Each structure stands twice: as C-alpha cells, then as structure tokens.
Amino acid sequence: MVCEAAAGFAAKYPGAEVEILPVAGYRKEMPTRIASGDYGDVLNVMDSIPPDQYPTFYLPLNDLTAMMENHRFIDSFTLDGNVYGLVYGASAEAVVCNKAAFERAGIEAVPSTRTELFAACEKLSAAGIVPFQINMGAGWPMQQWDKAALLFAQDGTYFDAALNSNSPYAADEPYGQSIRFVRDLFEAGCTERDYTANNRDSPRCSWALGVSAKSENPETAKAFVECLLTETDISNRAGFIPGDTRIDPAMPQLQELFAAEPATSVTGVLSSEFKQAMADARLDFMSGTYIRVLVLAEDLTPPSRM
C-alpha cells in the first residue's frame, strides 16, 4: 500500500523521489535509529517518546491546513498548540459477541450487568462454548485490562489521576476493579484454560505519521504524509476508523458498531510523568504481561505506590 502511494506521489510531483525502508521489529529498532539522528523523513510517532519531547524529534504539521480541519484524534499528538502526528486511523476496542454462540446457548440479549454477564457465561459453558477468549498466552491482548481501568473510572484521562493514588490497585480503585474483574472471569472458569497458547496475531496500532525534525526535505515529506492519508485507502485496508473525516469506515463491523451509537471513551494523552512512573515500577504498561502475572498470582496484595 505504501509503495503504491509512493508511486502515485512521484507521478503527481515529478522529480520527487520516495524510498521506502522496511524496518523489522519497529518498536524495538526505531528508538535506536532515532537516537542516532538518522531516521528518515517520514516515520511513525513513537509511543515510547514522551509528548514533551516531540519537538526534539518531529516537525509541527500545522501548515497542512486541510488536514488540520478534517482530521480526527489530533489532540493525542498536540503539544503547545502544535500538531506533531496525524493518525492513519483509530482502533475501536470493545467486547465482541458471537451471535451464533449466544443463540446456541439460549442467550437472547447482550448482558448489561455483571450478574447477567456471569449468568451468560454459565449458559455458554453448559453449551460447550468457552465464554471469554482473553488470549493470556499471547501476552499483549491483556493490555485491554489496562484500558478497562478507564471504563471503571469513566474517565479517559484516568491514568494520570492514578498517579495521585497511594494504592492504585486497591479493590475500590479503577485499576483494582479492572484487574479483579479479569481475575474473577479466569477463576470462575469463564476463560480459556490454556494460559500459555498464543492465539492472536500482533495488533494493528493507532499509529500516527510524523515528519522528522532532521528532515532535509520537510515540505516534500509533509506533502507525502497528506497524500498517503487522504488519497489512498490505507486506513480502511488496515481496518481503522479513518483519521480523515472525509473518509467513511468501510468495514461492515465498524458501520454496525457506530449505527448503534455506543457510548465511547477516548484515551487521553499519556503524560511523561505517567510513562516514567510505569518505567520506575517496571510495569510493562499496555504490553499485558504484568497483568497476566497478576491474574495468575496466588496473592493479589497491591503495591502501595505505582
């Protein structure tokens, strides 16, 4: 897809040359490339870089006026009024129900309370169906229980608020409620019993494109970003909610989801303080494996500080 866009861009702008450099293990390798100062012209905005350091590594994209007027989710990559990243699109994360399984188990409506949910799990189990697939063995899918803390808090900016708690994993705190909920599911036999198998591929992340602060061709780089995000169907090919508001979601699942007008929560921008706190605590935030450890632990005594 990107190579197709490069060819179209070169045709639109005679004389422009676009070289695509594949990078295996992007999250692991790119920080090293960025530290070296040699990291190309257009690249993803790395989630390992704290927002207050965006100006060090990326150029503002504010002069892409049409993009600023017609693009979603730019707040996540904005600092002091400057936009440093434009998303390909965003992922919609939710609990997905298997309608055929529900019908087989005699479940007539989607559960709306904890009691109804566990009752539905009993019916599914009785019908020989594993109620929940949490894919603990893969590790990263367990990051959903990091995100579920936002739902228990009913606050997309809860992560920073958790820094002010002396016991963020206590039973009555949003993080504690989230971890205990998945533990309850596991202990009640509502999930797959094999917690070592990897049944999921790597996720499609809500990546944003940025332009390197070291770029020697910043205007050409910005034009390529705009071309890729507005003149191709890269967002829909990846199954995203397109970042550009002029492009409608193509996936039937997304169309059905939004037709139901669900309540949504948008994850706020993670502060440098929160990222540092997680690093200091040696918790692999949004990677899932520490949550797997908590689910399998014999004793869930929370730490006093994050």
Q: How far is CA 211 from CA 43, 208, 216, 223, 266, in A?
A: 6, 10, 10, 10, 25
Q: What is the mean pLDDT of residues 242-263?
A: 86
Same domain, 292 and 167: yes
DSSP calls for 169-182: TSTTSHHHHHHHHH
Q: What is the mean pLDDT of residues 67-85?
A: 91
In a domain, 82, yes or no: yes
Q: Please report the pLDDT score of residue 5 as a whole number.
A: 76
Same domain, 151 and 275: yes
Same domain, 36 and 120: no
pTM greater than 0.75: no
Same domain, 69 and 170: no
In angstroms, the CA 235 to CA 239 distance is: 6
In a domain, 264, yes or no: no
Q: How confident is the model at residue 300 (pLDDT cuts 50, 70, 90)?
A: confident
Residue 271 is given by DSSP the state P
Same domain, 58 and 115: no
Same domain, 194 and 275: yes
305 pLDDT exceeds 80?
no
Q: Please report the pLDDT score of residue 113 as a whole number.
A: 93
Q: What is the mean pLDDT of residues 165-179?
A: 91
In a domain, 168, yes or no: yes
What digits encode the pLDDT tens for the residues 198-240? 765 554 756 899 999 999 999 999 999 999 999 888 888 888 8
Q: Please report the pLDDT score of residue 45 as a whole number.
A: 93
Q: What is the mean pLDDT of residues 247-261?
A: 86
In a domain, 190, yes or no: yes
Domain of residue 125: give its range: 96-130
Same domain, 140 and 197: yes
What digits encode the pLDDT tens for the residues 35-69? 999 999 999 999 778 888 999 999 999 999 999 99
**Overall number of domains in the chain:** 3
106 pLDDT exceeds 50?
yes
